[in-house]
Amino acid sequence: MTNQTAAHAREYGGILAVPEKKVLLWLAQRMPARVNSDHLTLLGLVSMFAAGGGFCLARWNRYALFAVIAALVLNWFGDSLDGTLARVRNRQRARYGYYVDHVIDLGGTAALLAGMAVSGFMTPFIAAALLSAYLLVAAETFLATYVKQVFKLSRFGFGPTELRIVLAAGAIRLFIDPWVQLGGSRFLLFDVGGAVAVVGLLAAFLYSAICNTCRLYKEEPL
């Protein structure tokens, strides 16, 4: 990975971006010296695998969904705070951080969706489609970061934090009742949510790909 990619700017247009940034700065300034950004990155990874494991266990005991919620909170703490802590302490490692963070995001998301696929709350086909759509968006984002020097953390006002909140709310709803009625038919709540997410991700992929292609074509005409 080149220094060009490492020097990118971060753009977070999520609904909660402003208050979240204030909270993260407050936490980073009070973090014990013995805790560094690598510890937080590891916490983010482990907690995402724990969330996937919680979904898996919920197949036999629905109370495991509360472990999923706790894991999502820990994932937010580790994944969101590691970069802020590095910046506050002026210990940024641009290429290392960019690479490791996103490798962990890819692996963690795969583990989370694998847990959903075996939980009984989402059919494996929907989980696989959702993972495929996520990977499309991730790949396009990485390519756009390279050519535009801007890494977008959110789409249509939704970033990782907002998605964690939606997922946690969904886990609570699953505990109450994993089914929904639509048009006189019964569907798994997470199948409906997953299908909507797939459509949204594909729309985001197409929109971004078309906009970036048009912009680059104007900047580099034949």
Q: So what's the pLDDT on residue 155?
A: 76
Q: Is the pLDDT of residue 109 over 80?
A: yes
- Tens of pLDDT, residue by residue over 178-207, are 999 998 899 999 999 999 999 999 999 999
Question: CA torsion sign, 187 to 188 to 193 to 199?
Answer: negative
Q: Is the pLDDT of residue 175 over 50?
A: yes
- Tens of pLDDT, residue by residue over 57-73, are 999 999 999 999 999 99
Distance CA 55, CA 62 (A): 9
**150: confidence class by pLDDT, cuts 50, 70, 90:** confident
* CB-based contacts of 105-112 (< 8 A; 24+ apart in sequence): 105/79, 105/138, 106/135, 106/138, 107/45, 107/48, 108/44, 108/45, 108/48, 108/49, 108/52, 108/75, 109/48, 109/134, 111/48, 111/49, 111/51, 111/52, 112/48, 112/51, 112/52, 112/55
Domains in the chain, ordered, with CATH? 3-219 (1.20.120.1760)
**Selected residue with higher pLDDT from 4 and 222:** 222
Lowest mean pLDDT among 67-71, 104-108, 148-152: 148-152
**4: confidence class by pLDDT, cuts 50, 70, 90:** very low
- Tens of pLDDT, residue by residue over 5-27, are 455 777 777 899 999 999 999 99
**Beta-strand runs (E) in the chain:** 9-11, 150-152, 179-182, 185-188
Q: So what's the pLDDT on residue 193?
A: 96
* pTM of the predicted protein model: 0.92
In angstroms, the first-to-last Cα distance of the chain is 27
Question: Which secondary structure element, helix H or strand E, spans residue 21, and what is its range?
Answer: helix 17-29
To the nearest whole number, what is the mean pLDDT of the chain?
93
Residues whose CB falls within 8 Å of the CB of residue 16, separated by 6 or more in sequence, listed in order? 159, 161, 162
**158: confidence class by pLDDT, cuts 50, 70, 90:** confident
Lowest mean pLDDT among 131-135, 140-144, 157-161: 157-161
Q: Please state, in angstroms and as integers, the Cα–Cα distance from residue 178 to each residue in 146, 164, 221, following that order.
A: 41, 18, 52
For 40, other C-beta atoms within 10 Å of its C-beta total 23
Q: So what's the pLDDT on residue 153?
A: 77
Specify the length of the chain in residues: 222
For 184, other C-beta atoms within 10 Å of its C-beta total 5
